[in-house]
Amino acid sequence: MAIINNRDFITARETLSAYINEKGLRETKQRQIILDAFLSSGRHITATELHKRISGAHPEIGFATVQRNLNLFCESGIAEEIKIGRQKTRYEQKIGHEHHDHLICVKCGDFIEVHDDKIENLQNKLAAANNFRPIRHKLEIYGYCGNCK
Protein backbone atom coordinates (compact mmCIF):
# COMPACT_ATOMS: atom_id res chain seq x y z
CA MET A 1 0.00 0.00 0.00
CA ALA A 2 3.05 2.20 0.30
CA ILE A 3 2.98 4.65 -2.57
CA ILE A 4 6.05 6.43 -1.32
CA ASN A 5 9.34 4.98 -2.53
CA ASN A 6 12.33 4.09 -0.44
CA ARG A 7 14.27 7.26 -1.10
CA ASP A 8 11.32 9.40 -0.01
CA PHE A 9 10.93 7.24 3.04
CA ILE A 10 14.49 8.04 4.07
CA THR A 11 14.12 11.71 3.22
CA ALA A 12 11.04 11.93 5.41
CA ARG A 13 12.86 10.31 8.32
CA GLU A 14 15.81 12.65 7.92
CA THR A 15 13.64 15.73 7.64
CA LEU A 16 11.80 14.81 10.80
CA SER A 17 15.05 14.01 12.66
CA ALA A 18 16.51 17.35 11.65
CA TYR A 19 13.41 19.11 12.95
CA ILE A 20 13.52 17.13 16.19
CA ASN A 21 17.15 18.03 16.78
CA GLU A 22 16.62 21.65 15.90
CA LYS A 23 13.79 21.96 18.39
CA GLY A 24 15.40 19.89 21.13
CA LEU A 25 12.72 17.24 20.94
CA ARG A 26 13.27 13.51 21.36
CA GLU A 27 13.19 10.37 19.27
CA THR A 28 10.97 7.79 20.87
CA LYS A 29 9.92 4.26 20.02
CA GLN A 30 6.35 5.39 19.60
CA ARG A 31 7.33 8.22 17.31
CA GLN A 32 9.26 5.81 15.09
CA ILE A 33 6.39 3.37 14.95
CA ILE A 34 3.88 6.10 14.15
CA LEU A 35 6.14 7.59 11.50
CA ASP A 36 6.65 4.24 9.80
CA ALA A 37 2.95 3.49 9.90
CA PHE A 38 2.18 6.91 8.48
CA LEU A 39 4.68 6.63 5.65
CA SER A 40 3.46 3.12 4.83
CA SER A 41 -0.17 4.18 4.78
CA GLY A 42 -2.19 5.45 1.87
CA ARG A 43 -1.79 9.02 0.80
CA HIS A 44 -4.54 10.52 2.94
CA ILE A 45 -5.20 9.09 6.36
CA THR A 46 -7.06 10.35 9.40
CA ALA A 47 -5.69 10.22 12.93
CA THR A 48 -8.32 7.67 13.88
CA GLU A 49 -7.51 5.44 10.93
CA LEU A 50 -3.81 5.59 11.60
CA HIS A 51 -4.35 4.80 15.26
CA LYS A 52 -6.42 1.80 14.26
CA ARG A 53 -3.71 0.53 11.92
CA ILE A 54 -1.13 0.78 14.67
CA SER A 55 -3.27 -0.71 17.41
CA GLY A 56 -3.00 -4.22 16.03
CA ALA A 57 0.74 -4.57 16.54
CA HIS A 58 1.05 -1.88 19.23
CA PRO A 59 -2.06 -1.69 21.34
CA GLU A 60 -0.17 0.25 23.97
CA ILE A 61 0.09 3.33 21.76
CA GLY A 62 -2.75 5.69 22.56
CA PHE A 63 -4.77 7.88 20.26
CA ALA A 64 -3.48 11.10 21.76
CA THR A 65 0.08 10.11 20.92
CA VAL A 66 -0.81 9.39 17.33
CA GLN A 67 -2.61 12.71 17.07
CA ARG A 68 0.26 14.62 18.67
CA ASN A 69 2.77 13.05 16.36
CA LEU A 70 0.71 13.78 13.26
CA ASN A 71 0.69 17.40 14.36
CA LEU A 72 4.46 17.21 14.78
CA PHE A 73 4.84 15.70 11.30
CA CYS A 74 2.95 18.69 9.94
CA GLU A 75 5.12 21.16 11.81
CA SER A 76 8.24 19.47 10.50
CA GLY A 77 6.99 19.69 6.95
CA ILE A 78 6.71 15.99 6.12
CA ALA A 79 2.93 15.97 6.38
CA GLU A 80 0.11 18.34 5.62
CA GLU A 81 -3.42 18.62 6.90
CA ILE A 82 -6.23 18.49 4.39
CA LYS A 83 -9.62 19.53 5.63
CA ILE A 84 -12.55 19.14 3.32
CA GLY A 85 -15.90 20.50 4.38
CA ARG A 86 -16.96 19.00 7.67
CA GLN A 87 -14.98 15.82 7.17
CA LYS A 88 -12.34 15.01 9.71
CA THR A 89 -8.81 16.14 9.03
CA ARG A 90 -6.70 13.92 6.80
CA TYR A 91 -2.93 13.89 6.86
CA GLU A 92 -1.11 13.78 3.59
CA GLN A 93 2.51 12.79 2.98
CA LYS A 94 4.41 15.68 1.47
CA ILE A 95 7.85 14.22 0.83
CA GLY A 96 8.12 13.03 -2.75
CA HIS A 97 4.75 14.43 -3.66
CA GLU A 98 4.35 17.60 -5.62
CA HIS A 99 1.87 20.18 -4.49
CA HIS A 100 -1.56 19.61 -5.94
CA ASP A 101 -5.13 20.75 -5.74
CA HIS A 102 -8.28 18.69 -5.32
CA LEU A 103 -11.37 18.04 -7.37
CA ILE A 104 -13.92 16.90 -4.80
CA CYS A 105 -17.07 15.02 -5.71
CA VAL A 106 -20.04 16.34 -3.76
CA LYS A 107 -21.87 13.07 -4.26
CA CYS A 108 -19.44 10.27 -3.44
CA GLY A 109 -16.94 12.38 -1.48
CA ASP A 110 -13.99 11.05 -3.41
CA PHE A 111 -11.34 13.43 -4.62
CA ILE A 112 -8.89 13.66 -7.48
CA GLU A 113 -5.49 15.30 -7.23
CA VAL A 114 -4.69 17.79 -9.96
CA HIS A 115 -2.06 20.35 -10.76
CA ASP A 116 -1.75 23.25 -13.16
CA ASP A 117 1.32 25.45 -13.33
CA LYS A 118 -0.53 28.17 -15.18
CA ILE A 119 -3.00 28.51 -12.35
CA GLU A 120 -0.17 28.62 -9.83
CA ASN A 121 1.55 31.40 -11.75
CA LEU A 122 -1.62 33.44 -11.95
CA GLN A 123 -2.15 32.97 -8.24
CA ASN A 124 1.29 34.37 -7.55
CA LYS A 125 0.60 37.35 -9.78
CA LEU A 126 -2.71 37.92 -8.06
CA ALA A 127 -1.02 37.89 -4.67
CA ALA A 128 1.72 40.23 -5.81
CA ALA A 129 -0.85 42.66 -7.19
CA ASN A 130 -2.32 42.84 -3.70
CA ASN A 131 0.97 43.41 -1.93
CA PHE A 132 0.68 39.93 -0.47
CA ARG A 133 3.50 37.44 -0.05
CA PRO A 134 2.10 33.94 -0.59
CA ILE A 135 3.38 30.88 1.27
CA ARG A 136 0.96 28.18 0.31
CA HIS A 137 -2.51 27.83 -1.06
CA LYS A 138 -5.47 25.55 -1.18
CA LEU A 139 -7.68 25.12 -4.20
CA GLU A 140 -10.69 22.87 -3.96
CA ILE A 141 -13.10 22.47 -6.84
CA TYR A 142 -16.41 20.90 -5.88
CA GLY A 143 -18.65 19.16 -8.37
CA TYR A 144 -19.49 15.77 -9.83
CA CYS A 145 -16.86 13.23 -10.71
CA GLY A 146 -17.00 11.01 -13.79
CA ASN A 147 -18.79 8.22 -11.94
CA CYS A 148 -21.42 10.43 -10.35
CA LYS A 149 -22.26 13.00 -12.99
Give contact residues for a second copy (rule: CB under 8 A). Answer: 83, 85, 103, 105-106, 112, 114, 116, 118-119, 122-123, 126-127, 130-146, 149
Shortest Å, Cβ 85 to a second copy: 8
* Cα dihedral sign, 88-84-104-67: negative
C-beta of 53: minimal distance to DNA in Å?
14
Residue number, 62 or 143, with CB nearest to DNA? 62
- CA dist 39 and 8 (Å) reads 9
Residue 1 touches which member of a second copy, DNA, none, C-beta under 5-8 Å by kind: none
Pick from 9, 12, 31, 76 the residue near DNA by CB under 7 A: 31
To DNA, the closest distance from the beta carbon of 83 in angstroms equals 7
CB atoms within 10 A of CB 109: 12
Is the dihedral angle over the CA atoms 23, 28, 32, 35 positive or is it negative? negative
Strand-pair partners of 92: 44, 80
Nearest Cα to Cα of residue 145 among 114, 109, 115: 109
| Binding of DNA by 56 (CB under 7 A) | no
Find the shortest distance in angstroms from Cβ 19 to a second copy: 19
Nearest to 23 by CA among 89, 75, 84: 75
Q: Interface with DNA by CB under 7 A: which residues?
A: 20, 24-31, 34, 46-48, 60-65, 67-69, 71, 83, 86, 88-89
